[in-house]
Amino acid sequence: MGDDCVAKVEKTNDAIDNNKQENKKKTHLKSPILTGKVESLGKLNDVYGELNEVFTRTKQAFQLFKTKIFFYPEPDFTKPFSESLKQVDGRLQEMGNLLGSYVSRQSASPITDVGTPISTVKPSGTISITPPASEVGNDEVEVTDSTINNSGITRKRHSREFKPDGSHTLPYKKSKRSLIDDYLIKDVKSSQVVDKTLTKNEDEDVYEVESIVDIAKTQGQVTYCVKWKGYGPQDNTWEPHNNLTGCEDLLFEFYKERLKKQEESYTEELNYHRFPIDDNSKEILFKAFQAHLVLIGLSEKDRQNAIHLVVSSKTPTPKSKKEVDALLEKALNSRKKERYLSVVREILQDRVLIELKTQRNKQLAELRSWERNINFICTDTACLSIENNIDLDLPPTEFHYINQSQAGEGVTIPSDPVVGCECDDCSSSKSCCPNQMNAMVVFNKFGKLKQQVSLGTPIYECNNICKCGPDCVNRVVQKGRTVGLCIFRTGNNRGWGVKTMENIKRGSLVTEYVGEVITSEEAERRGHIYDAQGCTYLFDLDYNKGDQNPYTIDAAKCGNVSHFINHSCDPNLVVFNVWVNCLDPDLPRLALFATHDIKKGEELTFDYNSGLKRDQAASFSTFTGNLLTPDKNDQIKVSSEVILKTPKGNRGLQYGKTECHCGAANCRKYFF
């Protein structure tokens, strides 16, 4: 009996303890703090899943965008945007890992109350989000229904399923895909599906623009009529500029074609209304307009005026880009063709000036280089300068400067004289070199031709075996040029010319005519070529030989400053035959002397057809009058007997091929 009572009491005590434990469980489950923690963690999990889904849609949208710009990619945007997506993707992975790890720890660690575990039930197919023990320290407060009602905390009411033993489970959750599991486990698979979808979209949604066919402006917006490749005109659509990504070349060609049609109008009004100007494609339009203007070009007169400005010191300052753009827009907005062409001409002039100025700078650099090279080669004591203030022509590329004549094929020029003088003073000696050759000393003590020397007089200078020194008065031509000269561009279509840079006294040596000494047969062959070209540099060595001259000097490819001396029917230079070390009568040197005083800056000229027979020299005046220049009446009445029987001379006046532009009063109109 007593034992039964004791057993009953113990059983009662156990029941009481069990009830207390159940009450504590209920109290913990009803704690608003713990409940809020559980709900907030669940909400965080849900929102993270939504964020992941939104990010996945963002990646899909970006991939779709790239398919739309497949033919005209935008690397300045797509590349950095893609990098940003990768960074966000990495951060999301870190967040998913942290959240998944945290949830796993909470599922593995049950809530404890003074060391007593609380059992949790994990519904099948879900992740248990069981809050951990509170760290606040007051989670063990007994909570009653009245406490909950007065706490101001709103919570969802969940139906509970009570078991026969008095315990209960958490409300059953509907099985759904875990977002964290989806991210951590199924991310690779879903990415493959997305890639397949995008690849399909790329194949289906790509359209290629074939051409731009029209432009219009409606309610302030400029649109373009687009012809799609593979579709008919009925499928053309009007698109704004933003939809024409990567179509810059097509827009450029469209603008050029439209401007060309507009230019072909011969009426006072332009073919089209005001050209719609799209701010988004203004730069392309302006480039097309400038390319169109290049095709139009300036008139020859306007271009020559522009060249004249560039080569002078009055070159205007080119317009700025802003000023040019303003003119372009003004031209495009013009209704009257007269005004349009006026603005176009102004734009072209400015553009041409810029191009010509660049050419001018290049030309000046090449002229300076040519000048340095010539003076480096030249052995004369006086310098040569180069000048071109007429056009933009560059130095001749196939001309080589030399100091003395060179023997061509089949020609030998002896340089060892067989006879010389033994004079102490050649100016008064009767046995000097000229006297030995039955000639006269033609130079005075100043190195100039004596007044009594007539045209055709041979000149014999002292040579290498003569006893006289370098200061001998009979050594002039062999010392070379002592007058400063300038190779310059003429302004009357005569090409390059030569002018003096100092005053020249009459009878003074100016220069020697040098080149390649060739045979008469070779001269005939080259003469036909030069005739076809309208110029020649052939000079026959026919002193006292008539038309039987065996040699000719050709200065076309090689020569000195005399190569650039122009012809004149009233020249200021005359040619004399000179012998120095080579005493072969058929190989004289050709020296150019001043016929009268020549002022600084005056152009130098000689008569290309001035050769005379020796017995005709008396018909010319001496230095007292017009130095070595034929009488004007004699020059006008030129006969075939006076003309040199050379490849240069006998073809010129006979056929009248080459017109003379010397401008002299006694001009013969043709010089060969």
Catalytic residues: 513, 608
- β-pairing verdict for 551-554 and 516-519: antiparallel
User: Quick count: other Cβ atoms within 10 Å of Cβ 56?
Assistant: 18
- The tokens describing 450, both together, are 């004596």
**Three-state DSSP state, 281:** helix
218 phi/psi in degrees, rounded to 5:
-130, 125
Radius of gyration of the chain (CA): 53
Helices (DSSP H) in 399-510: which residue ranges? 433-436
427-450 as b/e, with b when 16 or more CB fall inside 10 Å?
eebeebbbbeeeeebbbeeebbbe
Q: What is the C-alpha to C-alpha distance for residues 304 and 391, in angstroms, rounded to an integer?
A: 8
Nearest CA among 560, 510, 520, 280 for reference residue 403: 560
Q: What is the C-alpha to C-alpha distance for residues 570 and 611, in angstroms, rounded to an integer?
A: 14
- List, in sequence order, every residue forming a beta bridge with 518; answer none if it has no partner: 552
Helices (DSSP H) in 333-379: which residue ranges? 337-377
User: Quick count: other Cβ atoms within 10 Å of Cβ 600?
Assistant: 11
Amino acid sitting at position 502: E
Is 509:551 a contact under the CB 8 Å cutoff? no
**Three-state DSSP state, 317:** coil
Cβ-proximal residues to 571 (8 Å cutoff; 6+ apart), any chain: 595, 605, 606, 607, 610, 629
Q: What is the C-alpha to C-alpha distance for residues 653 and 668, in angstroms, rounded to an integer?
A: 9
Is 432:474 a contact under the CB 8 Å cutoff? yes
